[in-house]
Each structure stands twice: as C-alpha cells, then as structure tokens.
Chain A
Amino acid sequence: MALTTSTPRPPALRRGKRPAAPGELSKKVWATAVMWLLVVVYGFPVLWFLLSSFKPAGELFSYPLTLLPKNPTIEGFTQAWTSFDFAQYFLNTLIVAVAATVLTIVVSAACGYALAKYHSWWVKAFMICVLATTMLPAEVILSPLFLVVRDLGLYNSLSAVVVPAVITATGTFMFRQFFLTVPNDLLEAARIDGSGELSTFIRIMLPLSRPIMLTLAIFSFQWRWNDYIWPLVVLNDPNKFTLQIGVATIVGADNVNWSVLLGASVLSMIPLVAIYLLLQKYVMNADINAGLKD
C-alpha cells in the first residue's frame, strides 16, 4: 500500500482513468458490433450476387434457395463471354477509361492549381464556371451536348466518350483544395529563386500533389469504367460499345437471362476491383493535406 501511494504521478494519473475502463469496453463492443452489422449490410448483396453467379441456370430459381451453389459452375461466365462481344467491350472500356484518366489528371491539376494560387478576377470567375458544370452535367444537357459532339464529327467514336469527360469539377476542386493547403511561402520562395510560374507548378507543386493524383486516377477510372448514359448516347456501333452498355442490353431484354446477366456483371467488375486492390492504400489513406500541415 505504502508503495503504491508513494509512486510518482504519472501512474496515479493512469489510475484515475481506470474506473472509466468498463465504459470504454462497452463502447468498443458497441461500436464494433455496429460496424460489423454495417459490413454485413454492405457486403451481403455483393456476396449473394457473386455466389449466385456460380450457380447453374437451373439452380438460380429452384426453391429452397441456398447461399452456396450446390453444383458450382462457370457456365454463366463462359456463356456471357461468348454470346456477346465481351472482349471488344472490355477493350473499348479500357481505352476510354485510361485515356480519360490521364487527361483528367493533367487538366484538373493545372486548373486546380491556378484556381488556388492566382487571384485575378477572371480566375475567380472561371472557378464559378467550373462549379457551374456540376449544375449542368452531361445527363442534363443530353440532347444539345449530343448535337455538339455530332457536329464536331465525333459521333460513334470513343473520343466522344473521352473528351467531354475531361473537364470535371470534382477533380479540379480536389486539386484546388489541396493546393490551398500548400503554403504560399513555398510559391513565393520559388518566385524569389527565379523559378517561372509554370516550372514551379510542374517541378514543385505537381510532385507534391501525388496523393491527389492517385486518388483522382482511381476516381476518374471508375467514373469512365462505370459510365452508362453518355456512351449509350454517342456510341451506335456495337463494336464500340462499352461494358455497361453491354450489360444493360442484357437487362433490357424482355426475358432477362439471369445466368448470362450474373456472369457478365461479375466479369465487368473484375478489372476495377483489381485496380482498387492494387491502389487501395493510396486511395483509402489519401490524406488530402499530405505532408504540408503547418
């Protein structure tokens, strides 16, 4: 007893915390339970979908439904792959997604930087313009935008899907928010050292924004990979269809062939999931203020 009372302060402070421990424990249990409940809610539809895609066509609707397929098969996948021009759809979607992603990053970084670091009235005005594009997305001005693309001679080409998608308010503002957190002192220092404005941007600012670039890369890739209505409108030739259009044609049929649909859907998800698993840490741990907290 005498020993414990004579111990120096820090342990005593720790002791003061100890009575709160049961409360902490129950909080942990509750928080963890809620989180895992949500995990089930979010994960189960996908799990059920995935498992169903391995069921043979006859088993999909035979009661009682079972979670696990009794006779697992990849029939749905092979059928989906052969009955549609799936390889072509894959290739088209890949071209669109990669091209749009590279362009989006370059353009958004440049514009976001300008919006963050220059304060002329016209730069500010353009910021409002960029913001306005969110108000008038492709989905909304569908027909006039389609006519513009047609008049530019882009109709029925993959570039018609890529080019209008390059300007994105989300991407631009991701970079703007990031560059706002970069201290102006850095820019001033570069100016004093005689660095030109553009070379400051390319050599100092762009490398700093690497985390944002990776985040936007996977975002942009996902947007284009999963885009549906715009490719649907500007692509007419089945050889140029993207995956989403391909899958939607199966859904749109009068009698949905669920076996093929499940297979096709799962196949179309694979590349994006793979890329995500590769880039996961860059995206999920993306600290928007990386390295520049004052």
Chain B
Amino acid sequence: MVDSIHPPAEAPGIDVRRGPEPMRPRQRGWRLRGRNRYVGAPLVLISINLLLFVTFFVWPAVTGLIYSFTSYTGVGTAPYVGLDNYQRLLQDEAFYAALIRTLIFTACAVPLTVLLSLGTAVLLVTSYTKGKSLARVVFFLPWLISPIIAGVIWRWMFGENFGLVNYLIVSLGGEEVPWQSNANLSLIVVIVAAAWSYTAFNMLLFVAALKNVPTVYYEAASLDGAGSWAKFRNITLPAIAPTTFIVVLLSVLHFMKEYALIRALNEGGPGTANNLLVQYIFKMGFERAQVGYASAASFVLMLILMIVAVVQLRMNRRKES
C-alpha cells in the first residue's frame, strides 16, 4: 500500500531528503502499532462530539429512563412507582390515539415526500426539461420556510371560512369542505403540507446522488437500445439506492417527531384528534408537569424509532449483499 503510491519516481526522493530525520523513528513506532491503531488523533477529533453526546444524550436518556419509573414532577423528590407509568400509558386512550395518528401520518407522508423529492430531483437533473434554474429555486423555497410558517401558509390556504381553497370550491359550485373541523381532512392537509415542506431537503440529496451516477452506464444502455424507463429502473435506482435508504430513514424519523407544523396548522385539532406523539409528550411533560409519565412516553417513542431504524438497516444490508 505504502509502496504503491511511490511509482512516480521523482517525488519520493525529494520527500525522503526533506523529511526531518527525527520524525522517522516516531513514525515507525506508530506504524508498529498497526495502521488502524491511531488513538490520540481520532480521540481529539471526536472529543467535543463525545462530550456533547454524553451530556445531552446519555445523561438525559439515563435520567429519563430513571424518571420513567417515578412520579417525578420536575421539582422535589422523585418517588419510585415501578412500572406504573408504563401501565398507565398502555391503558391511556389518548396515547394510543396519538400513536396511531403519528403512524398514519408518517405512513402517508414518507412515501409522498420520497416520490416528490425523487421526482423533482430527476426533473432538475434530466436534460429533457427547460427552465431548471427557476424551478430549482421554487422547489427549494419551502425548505427555507420554517414548519411554523409553513403551517401558517397552509392554514391560510385551507381555512374553512376564509381559505382560498374553499373559496374556489364554492365558486365552482361545490360545498365548503371542513378542512379544519374534520379530523381526517385536517390530517390530509397536514400530510400535504409536510410533504410540501420536506421535499426540498430530500431533493437536494437525490440531486447530488443522481449527478454522481456515471454517464457511461447510460451511454452503454442507450447503445443496447434501453428506453428511458428501463435506464431509470436498472441504472439510476440501483445507483442511488444508498441515498434512497438515507432519505427514507431520515424522513421517517423526521415525521415521527413532527410538532411545529401541526402546531401552527391546526394545533393538533380538531380538539385532540390529531395530537401527534411529540405533542402528547410535550403536553404531559410541560403543561401537566408529569415528567415521569412523559419520560415513559418518550421511551416508547424511542423504542419505535429504533425498531424502524434497525429494520431499515437490516433491509438495506440484505439488499446490498
């Protein structure tokens, strides 16, 4: 390995002469420990992240786990209550409702977002489209808009008595659609808004991946007479599979913890019909100060996220092998 980079004969001679003599033995010492045995440098490089990881991840995770077995309220003592929180949680209909709503929301929003982001990315990369520079800015615009503002924008569009959408429906002779007071319809609005606001980020990942697919493959396929769809399916999709995996994983994790968007769009309404899990945890932990109970809910959510991630990693590994 070391020798293999030397062949262009001019450089090494100079380098050897230039290299300060005392360095050499030390270098040997490093190398004796093996090429992958560097300790100091990687430790320094990861140190800040490690510190932050311990402080803002391990610490809250451990204390959270402990609190989840207590009836702690944030102040005073934390009386141990065993599995009581978890038992209550499993009997809490509001928790189930939030969990199911979150799962439905994620199951709808992820495929929609992935399709839209892949679609827009392909349209921005292909040579078939005209006016890409403007389209690129417009597709990317929602990413600049915060979930709160995105929620406000879609609330403004889909207002029941004042929104543009209902105005158009009524002017076309239809009836006002209860976008806010029907639980399912308002969830649909949230899904559309979520896909709209989260497309851009994934699109960016897809664009980078698509640009890195070697064009020789397409040229070879063209010579063999492959059509656009065949090329897309047999060359593009396999080539960008790692990116697709990341996009799906990140989207699932992102949507499972959606809060701000729905907060601004309909506050989890009508009533509590569309309270998602994070909103539920927030309410329990901060509005009702049931830290122990909220922690238990947090750990259930974490368990779900971990299962999702592990399943996806497994599937990805199987595909690769």
Contacts and interface: CB of A to CB of B under 8 A. Distances in A.
Q: Is the pairing of A and B real?
A: yes
B157 A197 contact: no
A92 interface: no
B41 A118 contact: yes
A264 B63 CA distance: 39
Given A226-B146, A287-B212, A42 B196 contact: yes
B126 interface: yes
A64 B171 contact: yes
Contacts of A188: 1-2, 5
B154 interface: yes
Given A142-B281, A192-B15, A42 B167 contact: no
Interface stretch (A1-9, A32-40, A78-86): A32-40
A35 B131 contact: yes
A63 B159 CA distance: 14
A91 interface: no
B153 A46 contact: yes
Contact of B208 (A152, A227, A229, A287): A287
A291 to B, nearest CB: 13
Given A129-B53, A192-B15, A268-B149, A229 B282 contact: yes
B111 to A, nearest CB: 17
Interface string A231-247: 00100000000001001
Most chain A CB inside 10 Å of its own CB: which residue of B1, B61, B250: B61
A111 B46 contact: yes
Nearest to B313: A131
Interface residues of B, number: 103
B79 interface: no
Contact of A123 (B46, B155, B286): B46
B172 interface: no
Query: Interface SS of chain A: helix, strand, loop or mixed?
Result: helix
A163 B302 contact: no
Query: Interface SS of chain B: helix, strand, loop or mixed?
Result: helix
Interface stretch (B32-40, B83-91, B93-101, B233-241): B32-40
A226 B151 CA distance: 12
Interface string B137-173: 1111111111111011111110000101001000100
A43 B141 contact: yes
B51 to A, nearest CB: 9
A27 B128 contact: yes
A147 B263 CA distance: 23
Contacts of B151: 251
Q: Chain A, interface size: which category?
A: 35 or more
B263 A228 contact: yes
B294 A142 contact: yes
Given A38-B120, A229-B282, A27 B136 contact: no
B278 interface: yes
Interface of B: 1-2, 5, 15, 18-20, 23-24, 27, 36-42, 44-46, 48-50, 52-53, 55-57, 59-61, 63-64, 67, 74, 116, 119-120, 123-124, 126, 128-132, 134-149, 151-157, 162, 164, 167, 171, 196, 199, 204, 207-208, 211-212, 228, 250, 253, 257, 259-260, 263-264, 267, 278, 281-282, 285-286, 291, 294-295, 298, 301-302, 305-306, 309
13 contacts: A42-B196, A48-B164, A52-B156, A111-B49, A118-B42, A145-B64, A166-B48, A188-B1, A188-B2, A228-B148, A228-B263, A258-B156, A268-B146
Interface of A: 24, 27-28, 30-32, 34-36, 38-39, 41-43, 45-46, 48-49, 52, 60-61, 63-65, 106-108, 110-111, 113-115, 117-120, 123, 126, 129-137, 139-148, 152, 163-164, 166-167, 170, 172, 185, 188-189, 191-194, 196-198, 201, 222, 225-229, 233, 244, 247-248, 251-252, 258, 261-262, 265, 268-269, 272-273, 276, 280, 283-284, 286-289
Given A60-B162, A140-B281, A167-B53, 7 more contacts: A27-B128, A107-B48, A135-B306, A163-B56, A167-B49, A226-B147, A247-B148
